[in-house]
Chains A and B, each alone.
Chain A
Amino acid sequence: MRLYKLFLQQCIRSKEVWISLVLITVLGIIGIIIGNKHLERQQDAIAEVKTYQEQHFDRQVSLHNDDLGLLLYYANFAYINNLNPLAVLSIGQSDVHPTVKRITIKTFEAQKYDTDLVNPMNLQSGNLDLSFVIIYLFPLLVIVLTFNVVSEETETGTWRLVAIQSKSKLRFIISKLLVRMMLLYVVLIFLFFIAKLVLNSSLDIHFFWMFGLSVLYIFFWFTISFFVISFKKPSGFNALLLLSVWLVLIILLPAGINAYVTSKYPIPEALSTAIAQRDGYHVKWDTDKRATIEKFYQHYPQFKKYGYPTVGFNWLWYYAMQQMGDDDSKKQRDAFNEKIKLREHTSSQIASVIPNMHLQLTFNQLAGTSMSQQMEYLNATNAFHEKLRLFFYPKIFESQHADTINWNQFIPEYYKTKTTLEPIKGIAPLILASIIMIIISIPMTKRL
């Protein structure tokens, strides 16, 4: 125990160590503040939508009471992806995708991909959230703390003394590393503690998973560092090599893989869907009305009783045309969804062998800010849209007056992201990677 205390003193004696520890703590806290700000802005947006929606229907009803079809041309209904509080820690894709959608009962495809107001420069520079601090910066701190654990002894000439006096050189090195690891875990615990205070929600299991995964991830970097320093090369060389490993793992490899996935799976389907939904609806203005209504009834046989009004403009025909925007673009839409799934599948497969990418994707998954969860939200929005349609279609077709409907029931609806927890899938890649690093270090430790 005394030995550990001495190691700790030796480690924190250096000014650089203090500076980097303070720096990462400050950055971690900034990361939490930034994440919290992101969530706050969403909450503000939700509050805005609530008040807006109340007045919105009043105004619409007063303007178009006797023309429900026209009213629903304008009326929009909010559907909100209520962010999981954990999004504070991992903003993920929730800055690219809108989390508050306001939709009309017209063609869904035409509204599905509308984006929020975002500054692309912010997107490109990425969020400085806690997940960034953990994934990018903690490994650097591991490097700073460990690159000279052996080499400083050889360079100052104390290594021979150690070799003679200590029972095992391996144990000596591992103890030194353990002290540094504990130091980092203290910082990590402190940051998660702050996060907990900020999150202000009941501790849920996902929060602990995030913490556990971070612990494993930091351990993985210690195993890399252990491998490198066991070669007993000079400090400069170690620093250089470790930083190169960091550069390759954290920047070059993901960037290269990204280039691969992007060029392997381009998504022309997105643009085709956009055109198909436009044509699906608009072309119907010039085609046979009866045929359009017929097609509409094939989709919704329950409305057949409203007949085939084909003279002049009428709302039944109009909403049948709008429906065709969705129905006629189904082929393109399915192809598009397939492509997205393929991309997601490929990336998560590749990511499972690269710990930092794996951790980022798992963090997003736990925080409900991943791509697949966004797709699920879009699908739920689609279901919400369908519900509205089925509610309003008969009322429009019967030319009901707007004031016969209770508009107070249309308050913004919330969607809650589902996070499926797969512990094995989450931790296995990190543990495996660490084990592999330890195994390949064994031959070196024998020659210490």
Chain B
Amino acid sequence: MQWANIRLFAVHFWRNATAPKSFYALFLIFILLTAYSAVSGIQNHITQNNIRQEHQTKARQSWEANPDKHPHRMAHFGTFAFRTHPALGIFDYGLESFTGNTVFLEAHRQNSVNFSEATFSTGMLRFGELSLALLLQLVLPLILFFTGFSCVAGDKQNGTLKILLSQGATWKEILFGKSIGLFAISLLFLIPILFVVIIALLLFENSVVNDFRWLRFFIIGTSYLVFFFIISSITVVISTSSNAPKNALLRLLGIWLLLVILLPKSTQAMGNYWFPIPSKLAFQSAIEKDAIQKGDSHNPNDPHYNHLKDSVFTVHKVTKVTDLPFNYSGFVMREGEKITSALYRKHQAKLVDIYKNQNNVTRFSSFVNPFTAIKLISMTMAGTDFSSYIDFQDKADDYRYKLAQTMNELQMEYISPKKESGSEGKAHVVGHEHWEDFQDFKHEPMTFSNSMKEAFFALLSILFWAISTIGVILFISKKAKAI
């Protein structure tokens, strides 16, 4: 195998592919689509973040505007957590439109994350979203199939292949040469997109958030390079194993339909079928049931809380709650919040496990489907995947817990033990300076290492695909026939 020959075939492939005018038409259309998706992606990023930022500020302002009041009122006044749209969301929308972005955080209650784009949509959203990632995952592979389907089968049909082989070229050189040639064509389409993303990232340079965006982008870029090498090689291999260009094209189109449209949808449907999630009612009543068993702070005769009261009385050597050195009602609520939050988290973790099981069917399918592998890597690294969403949900709930407990502690400390219950009125209040002291929620993106963990399997499978395509080329170069 001589490098000079490989290069010769690659250059020759490039010249042939870029010669027809139709290629330029295709290229132009692709660039226009790139421009459109880039503009709408960037615009969406700016609008969404402005909206969310603006409302985060608005919600905070009304939090801080509260006068002196009973801290439990503040625990219910609560606040909102708005999910920040990640910078790389410009490139890959991922699940962004299907995950809620607003959650109301208050004591005792874990509210749902609401207002996803999908809830405002008429059903058109299900046709897909035009993002730069979609162009790379869906359209560019098709363009490569169109460009490369006849590369070997065509030569076979018109007899040039026989001449090449008889003149001393080896199958290996031909196949690697053409794969590299086609791969170079893919770069022609890929580079403008990567370039656009780089510019966008520079524009939105944000030194405050350390989200490793450049490193993430580097992994995205490298993965797409590997992916397009795989696609180019598959095209050449299929072309080699078909006896006529037409058959090669039909096979490639079939593969595209199967791997891009049918398989991803089926795997997710299977996951959904095999691992059913409980209804919201079942989920909530399971928590409620556990909570009643553990101790019901609303029940005056509850054994758990009576026992707690007795032990508090013994420690402080008192017989009435009003004689305690702190506000007992605040103390009970702190205990209650601790119990119910722990239960909620236990059940929530179970639920997330079911979701993960559902998604794992898709994830494991990336070993048979490189398109799924790149899709998962792309959205995980862009921070628009499932795990990033769950990460936000967890962070918002941590903040909610902190808010509730801080207010309970303020109540224990500052509200007179004589005020046994109720939070109404101006008599038993805490100074409003405490509201400002409690920091606002700030959505920190998921850590890079967690994203890596999440994407590990998909990265592994794309590596596996890269190695096996090289293996297949080597294998087929021994078996291939010139006629």
Contact = CB atoms under 8 A, between A and B. Distances in A.
A364 interface: yes
Interface string A102-144: 1000000010011111111111111110001000100010000
B472 to A, nearest CB: 24
Interface stretch (B49-57, B177-185, B318-326): B49-57
A195 interface: no
A271 B122 contact: no
Contact of B80 (A236, A275, A360): A275
A13 interface: no
Given A116-B280, A251-B138, A256 B36 contact: yes
B62 A247 contact: no
B123 A266 contact: no
Nearest to B272: A122
Nearest to A345: B122
Nearest to A147: B250
> Among A140, A267, A271, A283, which residue has the most Cβ atoms of chain B within 10 A?
A271
A82 to B, nearest CB: 15
B279 A360 contact: no
A247 B139 contact: yes
Given A239-B253, A371-B121, A34 B273 contact: yes
Interface residues of B, number: 95
Nearest to A98: B280
A258 B40 CA distance: 10
A255 B283 contact: no
Contacts of A272: 55, 58
Contacts, number: 240
B98 interface: yes
A243 interface: yes
B207 to A, nearest CB: 27
Given A52-B281, A236-B245, A371 B123 contact: yes
A258 B269 CA distance: 24
B122 A343 contact: yes
Contacts of B118: 96, 123
Contacts of A263: 40, 43-44, 47
Interface in B437-453: none
B269 A278 contact: no
A399 B259 CA distance: 65
Contacts of B116: 96, 115, 120
A240 B146 contact: yes
B424 A239 contact: no
A370 interface: yes
Contacts of B90: none
A113 B33 CA distance: 35
B35 to A, nearest CB: 12
B358 interface: yes
Interface stretch (B107-115, B221-229, B306-314, B411-419): B107-115
A340 to B, nearest CB: 6
B281 A268 contact: no
A116 B280 CA distance: 6
B122 to A, nearest CB: 4
Nearest to B284: A102
Interface string B101-132: 01010000001111111111111111111100
B386 A120 contact: yes
Interface in A217-254: 234-236, 239-240, 243, 247, 250-252, 254
Contacts of B285: 52
A215 B77 CA distance: 56
Contacts of B278: 117
Contact of B130 (A116, A124, A258): A258
Interface string A41-74: 1001100110010000000000100000000000
B277 interface: yes
Nearest to B425: A312
A117 B123 contact: no
Contacts of B62: 275, 278-279, 283
B48 interface: yes
A136 B126 contact: no
A247 B125 CA distance: 16
Nearest to A243: B253
Nearest to B358: A119
A268 B245 CA distance: 53
B281 A128 contact: no
Nearest to B249: A236
B99 A262 contact: no
B145 to A, nearest CB: 9
Contacts of A235: 246
B281 A239 contact: no
B66 A286 contact: yes
Contacts of B86: none
A364 B124 CA distance: 11
Interface string A354-381: 0011001100100001111000000000
19 contacts: A30-B266, A52-B285, A92-B123, A93-B122, A115-B100, A119-B358, A121-B268, A121-B359, A125-B265, A125-B269, A256-B130, A258-B127, A270-B114, A271-B82, A271-B115, A275-B55, A278-B62, A285-B73, A348-B122
Closest 10 pairs (CB-CB, A-B): A254-B127, A255-B130, A125-B268, A259-B40, A313-B424, A45-B279, A123-B98, A120-B98, A255-B128, A271-B55
